[in-house]
Amino acid sequence: MNNFNEHINDDILVKFMLGQASAEEQLAVGQWMAASSDNEKYFQHFKLIWEQSHTLASPVATDENEAWTRFQQRVNRPETPVVELTATRKPWLRIAAAVAVIVVAGTIAFLMMNKPAAHQLELVAANSPVTDTLPDGSIITLNKNSRIQYASNFETNRNITLEGEAFFNVATDPSHPFVLKTGEVQVRVLGTSFNVKSDQQQVEVIVETGAVEVNKKAETVQLKQNEKAVLTKNSSAIVKASNKDELYNYYRTQTFVCNDTPLWQLAEIFSNAYGVKIEITNTAIRNEEITSVFVYSNLEENLDLLQETYHGKITVEKKGDTYILK
C-alpha cells in the first residue's frame, strides 16, 4: 500500500465527502477502503454520522472544542480501531462535530418552542338538541339555540362557557374541577349532573345528582340534589329553592312531565320549546296545577290535550301567531 494510505484520517475523509480532496487523496481513500473490510466499515459508519449531521444542521452556536470531543467519541466506538489519527483538526470538521452534538437538543428545543397552544372548540345546537361526549368523558345535552366553548386541552383544563341551555353529566375528576361560566355566573363541580339555563333575564341552575357551587360576584351558594338557584341579570343575589318538577328535562327526554306544575310555567316551557308566543289572559287559571305528560311533538296536539284534560277550566284560542289560554 502507498505510504500515504497509512495516514488516512478523519480530516481527509471529510475532504473526500465534501469533494475537496485532491486526486491523490481520492485515490488513496479508495485504496484504503479496498484494502480492508474494517476500513470499509469504518468509512460507512463515519459517512452515516456525517450525513446525519449535514442533513439536520442548524445555525445554533456551540462550543466547538467540546463538540469535537463528543463527535470523536461517537465516531470512535469500540468497533476495532482502524488507523491512527494524527493530523491537525480542521475548522470544517469541528463545525460538523458541533452540528452533530446539537442536533437532538436543537430539535427538542424547536418542538418545545413550537408546541401548539390550546385552541377553543365549540359545540352548537341550532334547530334541535344535540348530545355529545366531552374530551374528559362528561356527557352534555345542548338544547336548541345554544352553544358551549371549551379549550382543546379540556381533559386537564375543564373550563367551559355556555350560551343558552344545557344538561351536564360530569365525569368525576377531583384533581380537575369542572367549571362552567355563563355571563357573570360560575358553576363549579367535581362530579354531578345538573342543568343550566341562561337567557337575557336570568340564569337557572338545577342539580339532579351530586352537588355544585354557584357563584356570582361575591355571592356563593351550595346546591345539592333536587335544589335549584335562580340568578337575575341585574342583581347579585342568588335565590335558592327546592326543585320538584322535571320540566327542565324535556329536551333530553322528549317529554314534558308535569307534577302539580303551575300553568304559567308549562306555558313558558311550551313557548321556549316550540318558539312561539303563548299568553294567559285569565289570571284565575295562571296558577292552575297541571299533572300530566305531554310528548314533545306537535304543539297544537298538546294544547288540545291540555284543553280536553282541563275541560271547562282552560280554553285555547289562536290569534295570528299567538296562542291564548283563557
Question: The domain spanning residue 155 has which CATH number?
Answer: 2.60.120.1440
Using the Cα atoms of residue 289, residue 294, residue 296 and residue 299 in order, give the sign of their dihedral: negative
Residue 90: the pLDDT is: 52
Residue 125: the pLDDT is: 92
127 plus 236 within the same structural domain: yes
Closest CA to 208 of 189, 221, 183: 189
90 plus 17 within the same structural domain: yes
229: containing domain: 120-242
Do the Cβ atoms of 268 and 229 come closer than 8 Å?
no
> Among residues 79, 96, 113, which one ends one of the domains?
113
Do the Cβ atoms of 137 and 168 come closer than 8 Å?
no
279 plus 318 within the same structural domain: yes
The three cell numbers locating residue 234: 341585574
157 plus 235 within the same structural domain: yes
Q: What is this structure's pTM?
A: 0.62
Residue 160: the pLDDT is: 96
Residue 89: the pLDDT is: 47
225 plus 278 within the same structural domain: no
Please list the rounded mean pLDDT of every run of 10 residues in the chain (326 residues): 58 76 78 79 75 52 51 52 46 56 57 66 92 94 95 92 95 91 91 91 94 92 94 91 90 92 93 92 91 92 90 88 91
Which amino acid does the sequence have at 257? V
257 backbone dihedrals φ, ψ, rounded to 5°: -95, 120
Helix axes of 37-55 and 91-113: crossing angle, nearest 10 degrees: 50
Do the Cβ atoms of 121 and 88 come closer than 8 Å?
no
**Residue 180 pairs with which residues in a beta bridge?**
160, 187
160 plus 98 within the same structural domain: no
Residue 224: the pLDDT is: 93
Question: Cα torsion at 13, 19, 20, 26 (round to 10°)?
Answer: 60
Residue 278: the pLDDT is: 94
Do the Cβ atoms of 202 and 233 come closer than 8 Å?
yes
The three cell numbers locating residue 320: 295570528
Do the Cβ atoms of 251 and 141 come closer than 8 Å?
yes
Contacts with 255 (C-beta within 8 Å, 6 or more apart), sequence order: 293, 294, 295, 296
19 plus 108 within the same structural domain: yes
Do the Cβ atoms of 215 and 186 come closer than 8 Å?
yes
- Note the Cα 321 to chain centre separation in Å: 43
181 plus 235 within the same structural domain: yes
Per-residue pLDDT of 253-299, as tens digits, reads 999 999 899 999 999 999 999 999 999 998 899 999 999 999 998 99
> Among residues 179, 207, 242, which one ends one of the domains?
242
Q: Residue ranges of the alpha helices (H) in the chain?
A: 10-18, 23-35, 37-55, 64-75, 91-113, 250-253, 263-274, 299-309
Residue 143: the pLDDT is: 95
Into how many domains does the chain fold? 3
Residue 2: the pLDDT is: 43
109 plus 13 within the same structural domain: yes
> Among residues 63, 78, 113, which one ends one of the domains?
113
CATH number of the domain within which 278 lies: 3.55.50.30
Would strands 277-280 and 322-325 be described as parallel, antiparallel, or unpaired?
parallel
